[in-house]
Amino acid sequence: MQHSNNGEQRIADTMPLDKNHITYVFVYERCITGGVETLMHRMCQQLQARGHHVTIILGEGGELMEQLSNCATILLLGSRNYHKLAFPFTAIPAEVTKTLLTSDAIVAFSETSLSISYCLLRRLRLKKRLLAGVFNPWAYHAPPTKNHASNVFCNILPDENKLFMSEHIRLSHAKTHDLNQPVGKTWPLPLDVERYRRIERKPERLRILSVGRLMSFKTYNLYMIDILKRLKSEGVHAHWEVVGDVDKSDNELKSEMCKRIELSGLRDNVTLHGTLDEHRIIELLQTAGVFVGMGTSLIVAAAAGVPAIPAIVNDLSSSTYGWFHELPPGSCGEHVEGTSPDISIHKMLSGVLAVSDTEYSNLCFQEKEAAMFFDINRRTEQFLELTNQAKLAPLNHKQWAAYLLKKLAKKSRLDVVRRLS
């Protein structure tokens, strides 16, 4: 790395990375039990096992702190200090500066973390490989003129540095921003598939399992209650096991679920477990007859050989595209671009309860095979290659000047308000 005498310009080495030892910095808001957080944990484990090093700049702690600490260096800043990193008028902690100076690649796992990561690089005048992961269908959909993270992602970040979790999310991004062709790379969610394939199962067909934080876009948490009521009226007394608790932004969802369960007379047909450790979740996978859900937990269920029904993000029709193995490769609950879900989940649940043991076993086998697409060894090697292909994020002076002016204007308005109050 070269430094100018006056410290005004620091330029990162542009030599190819040492594939045997890459120093990563992951940036994210928290480490609770969620899809992105568990993804970070799995990648830290895999990278550490291959001789690489990860430091995580983290806003808040959570249930995964201990696990993450075993495979990464944690810089826990606290939520307030973490978000202040995006402001050009605040001090950058010395340990953050040192970590970024010695890093090879920085990975942002959300819009907020990308905005913070780029602001840090710009303030320190560092050129680094900055990669951004897109792990939900609506990330970076805001117009770049109105959202700093979207502006960085769309107008500053090199296309080689944009990692989409599925091809359909990549296509959706292109459609949202009226691009002539999709940009970025597809990097499917990595999962230790072989571990879950080894689960010994004794399925009970009437036992339905769902795993995932209770968030408003996971609309199956509400329509599944109507489906259970309909099944019960048809003489099918299925039991729905729900693992996961409310997200702080969706506090009303769980109370709404409880109210609907009570009004539908399904108190004996639904168990709301709240958050469970992985050992207990594996026990539930052993006996589950069918799974309904999305994201990482959908892949886990399929890998274990549980017939898995993808619940579609924000869908209110209680419809889907079919079984997990019938989805396009890499999909796990997002909308498939150009099509609409039109297969009734009620009919799928009724059908799986009625099929022969041979047909059921064949369905379980197909789900297991489809999950191999997400094999963690294959996807970690792909991640390392994508890191090496990534370009240095440019320090766009014009964009930065506009950002500074906007922040200055906001600060001035706040100062006026404080004086008047």
Confidence bin at 10 (pLDDT 50/70/90): very low
3-state secondary structure of 26: strand
- Percent of the chain scored above 90 by pLDDT? 78
CATH topology for the 193-374 domain: Rossmann fold (3.40.50)
CATH topology for the 2-190+381-420 domain: Rossmann fold (3.40.50)
Check whether 12 has a pLDDT greater than 60.
no
Q: What torsion do the CA atoms of 306, 311, 313, 317 make, to the nearest 10 degrees?
A: 180
**Which of 31-35, 45-49, 254-258 comes out lowest in average pLDDT?**
31-35
Check whether 2 has a pLDDT greater than 80.
no
Check whether 245 has a pLDDT greater than 50.
yes
Q: Which amino acid is at 356?
A: S
Per residue in 134-149, pLDDT (tens digit) is 998 889 999 998 999 9
Following DSSP, what letter does each residue of 104-173 receive, concatenated? SEEEE-SHHHHHHHHHHHHHHT---EEEEEE-STTTT-S-TTT-HHHHIIIIIS-GGGEEESSHHHHHHH
* pLDDT mean across residues, the chain: 90
Check whether 9 has a pLDDT greater than 50.
no
Q: If phi over 0 gives left and psi between -120 and 50 gives alpha, with beta otherwise, what is residue 127?
A: beta
Check whether 7 has a pLDDT greater than 70.
no
Confidence bin at 395 (pLDDT 50/70/90): confident
136 compared with 105, residue with greater pLDDT: 105
378-406: average pLDDT: 83
Please report the pLDDT score of residue 56 as a whole number: 98
Q: Which residue matches tokens 């039109």? A: 342
Which residues does residue 209 pair with via DSSP β-bridges, in sequence order?
241, 291
Please report the pLDDT score of residue 8 as a whole number: 37
Per residue in 181-222, pLDDT (tens digit) is 999 999 999 999 999 999 999 999 999 999 998 988 999 999
234-240: average pLDDT: 96
Confidence bin at 99 (pLDDT 50/70/90): very high
332-350: average pLDDT: 92
Every domain of the chain with CATH number 3.40.50.2000 lies at 2-190+381-420, 193-374
Please report the pLDDT score of residue 6 as a whole number: 36
Following DSSP, what letter does each residue of 272-323 receive, concatenated? EEES--HHHHHHHHHHEEEEEE-THHHHHHHHTT--EEEPPTT--S-EESSS
Torsions phi, psi of 177, nearest 5?
Answer: -100, 15
Please report the pLDDT score of residue 252 as a whole number: 83
3-state secondary structure of 189: coil
Confidence bin at 406 (pLDDT 50/70/90): low
The reply to whether the predicted model has a pTM over 0.85 is yes
Nearest CA-CA partner of 253 in 203, 305, 285, 213? 213
- Percent of the chain scored above 70 by pLDDT? 90
Please report the pLDDT score of residue 418 as a whole number: 55
Q: Which residue matches tokens 């990692």? A: 163
Check whether 13 has a pLDDT greater than 90.
no
Q: Which residue matches tokens 């989940």? A: 345
403-418: average pLDDT: 57
Helical pair 220-233 and 251-263, crossing angle rounded to 10 deg: 10
Which residues does residue 176 pair with via DSSP β-bridges, in sequence order?
none
* Rounded CA separation 383/53 (Å): 14
Tell me how far CA of residue 400 lies from CA of 97, 168, 173, in angstroms.
Answer: 19, 31, 24
H-helix or E-strand spanning residue 346? helix 345-354
297-322: average pLDDT: 96
Nearest CA-CA partner of 216 in 258, 259, 250, 251? 250
Please report the pLDDT score of residue 397 as a whole number: 62
* Rounded CA separation 246/253 (Å): 7
Please report the pLDDT score of residue 4 as a whole number: 36
Check whether 35 has a pLDDT greater than 80.
yes
Per residue in 354-367, pLDDT (tens digit) is 999 999 999 999 99
Residues near 204 by beta carbon (within 8 Å), at least 6 away in sequence: 287, 288, 289
Please report the pLDDT score of residue 398 as a whole number: 65
382 compared with 33, residue with greater pLDDT: 382
Check whether 1 has a pLDDT greater than 60.
no
359 with 320: CB under 8 angstroms?
Answer: no
Nearest CA-CA partner of 323 in 368, 374, 287? 368
364-373: average pLDDT: 98
3-state secondary structure of 209: strand
57 with 25: CB under 8 angstroms?
Answer: yes
Check whether 230 has a pLDDT greater than 80.
yes
